A and B are shown apart, each in its own frame.
Chain A
Amino acid sequence: MGEFDRYLDLYLAEAQEHLGTLNQGLLALESGGGGEAVDAAFRAAHTVKGMAAMMGHDTVAVVAHRLEDRLDQVRSGRAEVSPELIDELLAGVDELARAIDQAVAGGGDGGADAATDASAAAAAEEEAGAELRIPEGTELVVRVLLVPDAPLKSARAHVVCRSAAAVCPLLGTWPETIEEDFGGEFWLFVGAGADESRLAESIRAGGEVALVEIRPVEEVAGGGGAHDADRAGESVDTADAEAATQPEAPARAAGAPESRPTDARTGVAGGDLRSGAAHVRVSREQLIDLADGMGDLAILARQLERAAESASPGLRSIVEQIGRRVRELQGTVLGMRMVPAGSVFDRLPRVVRDTARSLGKEVDFRLEGRDIELDREILEELLDAVIHILRNAIDHGIESRERRLAAGKPPRGQLVLRVIRERSSVLLEIEDDGRGVDRAKVHARARALGLLVPPSPEEMTDEDILRLLSQPGFSTAEQVSTVSGRGVGMDVVVTRIRALGGGVSLQTVEGRGTTFRLRMPITLALVQALRVRVGEEDYVVPITHVTEALDLGQVRITRKAEREFIRHRGKQLPVVRMRAVLGTPSEGEEAAAIVTELGDRRAALAVDKLVGREQIIVKSFDAAVGTLKIFSGAALLSDGRPALVLDPISVL
């Protein structure tokens, strides 16, 4: 791993952002967004082009350039906005995304496309290099990038220049005077007679150098494209051989330095990394690691506090301070994982549009509450589930234009995703105004599969429908379409949401539409839970699944047929004895019960006793084959012991 990889991460992260901007801009344009939308998309394409050129990713630069050109035509009114044009531009964005992936995965890019489109490369270069002043007699142009966290970059550049000057005739630099706030990239202009490998070596000897790239002057000054490929390839030298970009293809679209000052900051040399910046980028893995580590520390701190209860006041006070500080830090770290829903869900409008177009449906999609913050991990995990529900809605829910008009509905289907912040959770509502779930069909299908159903379709509740739809292999679509028939099924969606400590509910009215509600914890790492004992073991139940806790000593359990009930709030509540479910016999009567509900289905789960409330850290859980479905995960308790997480809804 070299310093170069750090640039790559930054580059990739920024490029993804710009791709998002492009997608949004184009969708806004399609729905009449006009000037601002095009401008934003145009700028994004332009920036990606500059960044790619700097990274030596020729194909990316060329694709971005084409996109930019086309957007410029739209901007100036030379191209007319039509669904076909948007299709074409979106395809261009996809091509750009693929090119970036390939370039990053391959550590460089082959530039094959670039060679076939030398004019675009040349244009990109010409534009960028228009005002570059190269001193007379320059033979080699050397691009030097300092590592992003090098202190005093301008002083470092002076050391590097002096080191280079010792082995070659150094005619000048760009920028001519390297100012204090320069971004970390500079160019050296070298006269005749320099030994390239010695030159590269001496530049590196200057210290804190991430990248050295030596090219013959005519490649930078000329039109690009007509140069000797071998030469350009062999003199590329990066911080680490394994991180090196692939040898460049002839038509390098690398711009000359004129366009650098801005690009160097926004693109690679790391505006975000400059001292004084308000934000820094952190890798996701590190953040997860940090959050997990803080969680473990918080648990250790609690244990420490307990162990120190009988210690001297001095020691106890220190231990308490440590505990407080650890918990504060844990809050800070968890806060760092919070991102606005939009940062992940902003790709949904594109998904909806593509799905709708491929199915010949007309759909207006709205995303509300994109500023509501959620744990990034939860958001990412939810994305597939939400996409699945949206696709289902477009495929099976929303009717064709003709049918809608016949039903007296507006011609375009309305699809909304609302992100709503609740007190201790976040609610995601996915609502369509389509035909609703066909109860008769679901009923017939369930019967055919031998599933337990109420006697008639009319008696099926929304919860019954959700339960049936979430059965593996249950699909009422007569033909599995390429859209919603692909990927995960509703069963996987529901299981995943439960595993994250969330819940799903459904509301559907035939002819009127369907609404899915996903209630999620705000953060994955810490979940409020109730700790209960059954037999010898303690288990935890996320608070989101618990409606109420009951003292069984105060109520009478009645028997009807084979089932047990208690009377609660004027209703009969079925009792499920967890000892039986978990297969752990125990002495005496159960002392408590927790009430859980899913829609209007409720049950009281009898447990030996309630131990108390806990903040648990849910760890990922790969259930062994044959494990009871009631376990949705594993968690660490505050005394450091592991416990299984119960999903009470699974017994309903």
Chain B
Amino acid sequence: MGRTVLICDDAIFMRSMIADILKQAGFEVVGEAETGAEAVARYRELKPDLVTMDIVMPDMGGIDAVRQIMAEDPNAKVLMCSAMGQQALVIEAIQAGARDFVVKPFQPSRVLEAVQRVLG
């Protein structure tokens, strides 16, 4: 498929896990970001087909990053990565424009289903 993805998460472990799942599904990981601000900057630069976004990141959180990205590109496709118990934040992210969400711990099948829905 060769679709591109930008992975935003402050934990290397989570980034590499998401990367593995998506690579197996044929995605090309074109960039990674550890903070919200970095996510916005890298999105601007890379224009990936898909962004996976952690909610809690240092510097600028995932939700603010979604708002900025959506403001710059209303067609951006952002998938939120959330922990259980962050329901209110997930709802906020969705209202901010995120397309869908997955919940940690990730099940690869659920991640891929969500990705499919986002890219529709």
Q: Which A residues fall within an 8 A CB radius of B?
A: 151-152, 154-155, 158-159, 162, 180, 205-207, 275
Contacts and interface: CB of A to CB of B under 8 A. Distances in A.
A159 B101 contact: yes
Contact of A155 (B91, B99, B113, B120): B91
B117 interface: yes
B36 to A, nearest CB: 20
A152 B94 contact: no
B86 to A, nearest CB: 8
B94 A158 contact: yes
B88 interface: yes
A162 B94 contact: yes
Interface in B86-113: 86-88, 90-91, 94-95, 99-101, 103, 113
B113 A207 contact: yes
Contacts of A205: 117, 120
A207 B90 contact: no
Interface in B29-83: 82
B87 A180 contact: yes
B82 A152 contact: yes
Nearest to B93: A155
A155 B90 contact: yes
Given A158-B95, A207-B117, 19 more contacts: A151-B84, A151-B103, A152-B84, A152-B90, A152-B101, A152-B103, A154-B87, A154-B91, A155-B87, A155-B91, A155-B94, A155-B101, A158-B94, A159-B94, A159-B99, A180-B87, A180-B88, A205-B117, A207-B100
Contacts of A155: 82, 87, 90-91, 94, 101
B100 A159 contact: yes
Chain B interface: which size bin?
10 to 19
Interface of B: 82, 84, 86-88, 90-91, 94-95, 99-101, 103, 113-114, 117, 120
Contacts, number: 35
16 contacts: A151-B84, A152-B84, A152-B86, A152-B87, A154-B91, A155-B87, A155-B94, A155-B101, A158-B91, A158-B95, A159-B99, A159-B100, A180-B87, A207-B100, A207-B117, A275-B84
Nearest to B120: A205
| A151, A155, A162: most-surrounded residue (chain B CB, <10 A) | A155
B62 to A, nearest CB: 14
Contacts of B103: 151-152
B53 to A, nearest CB: 14
A155 B86 CA distance: 10
B117 to A, nearest CB: 5
B112 to A, nearest CB: 12
Nearest to B82: A152
A205 B117 CA distance: 6
Which 9 A/B pairs are nearest by Cβ-Cβ distance? A151-B103, A155-B90, A152-B87, A158-B94, A155-B91, A180-B87, A207-B117, A158-B91, A155-B87
A158 B92 CA distance: 10
A606 to B, nearest CB: 60
B114 A207 contact: yes
Contacts of B117: 205-207
A148 B101 CA distance: 17
Contacts of B94: 155, 158-159, 162
